[in-house]
Amino acid sequence: MSEATATTLWGRIRSDVPASSREARLTRLYFGWRRLARSSAALAGLAIIALLLLLAIFAPFIAPFDPYAQELSAQLRPPSTINLFGTDEFGRDVFSRVIYGSRYTLYIVVLVAVIAAPIGLIIGAASGFLGGWVDTVFMRLTDIALAFPRLILALAFVTAFGPGLNNAILAIAVTGWPPYVRIARAETLSIRKSDYIAAIQLMGASRLRIILFHIIPLCFPSLLVRATLDMAGVILIAAGLGFLGLGAQPPSAEWGVMLSNGKDYLLSGWWVATFPGIAIFLVSMGFNLLGDGLRDVLDPRQED
């Protein structure tokens, strides 16, 4: 692509006069980024999530020590230039363990989103579009699931499945689909009588094709915002299960497990539990801030 062509393309994108579908997508991304960049809070959330990704990917290169290496002669050393976050009751470097804990957090967040959001999206879209007894059955099941606190349900499931990180993730995902059903159903009800859907039906498209290829893509922006906001709760529940000994198991460098190990040393070694707690707080806040920013970006009523 020549410089003149690139300049012309950039001008069309900035002036909101795209000449093709590809340029239209680039235009939406450009104006979406402009709306997101106006919010310092949203940018702060994006920076926190980006930092989480970088720490998880490059943990072996960033962590100064092996997070599982024990040195009993260095028990409960306070923060210093050598051990930035101090050491724990086994002489392990807390800073290295916090960095490696970002991998567990990212693993939990991604798996829960991949499992819970698609289930809720499919059920909600089918319920809203098909209506009738299908809608009644799905919504009553959703109401039953929403009647119980999510943490209590997760505790019940992980107790039945057995303690462990993967079982905790499965329990969180199994209890996390109802809110997505509500959002997908509401979006589907607002568009199922539209001229767009009516035209597709007149062309002979089956119900399954309409739901999968036309309804679900239109519901995706709202689900993306909900999933981003929901990640803060997922992180807290996972940390809570780890704290109770039902999630990740010692000696895992998972933040909830680190909190559980450090609760007995709050007076003699406050840093053991403090820094994992700060990490949980910052990442949860980052997802909330980013979710608020995405809600503004994906709101069709927002104008530049």
In this structure, is residue 1 part of a structural domain?
no
Looking up residue 57, the CATH number of its domain turns out to be 1.10.3720.10
Of 74-78, 123-127, 194-198, 260-264, the one with minimum mean pLDDT is 194-198
> Tell me: the pLDDT tens digits for 163-188?
888 999 999 998 889 999 999 999 89
Dist. CA 242–CA 193, nearest whole Å: 46
In this structure, is residue 6 part of a structural domain?
no
In this structure, is residue 9 part of a structural domain?
no
pLDDT band at 302 (very low <50, low <70, confident <90, very high): low
In this structure, is residue 3 part of a structural domain?
no
Of 98-102, 114-118, 275-279, the one with minimum mean pLDDT is 114-118
> Tell me: the pLDDT tens digits for 252-293?
999 999 999 998 888 888 999 999 999 999 999 999 999 888
> Tell me: the pLDDT tens digits for 10-61?
666 666 666 666 666 677 777 777 777 787 888 899 999 999 999 999 999 9
In this structure, is residue 270 part of a structural domain?
yes
Domain that holds residue 168: 23-74+87-297
pLDDT band at 9 (very low <50, low <70, confident <90, very high): low
In this structure, is residue 5 part of a structural domain?
no
> Tell me: the pLDDT tens digits for 131-144?
889 899 999 999 98
In this structure, is residue 80 part of a structural domain?
no
The total number of structural domains in the chain stands at 1
In this structure, is residue 188 part of a structural domain?
yes
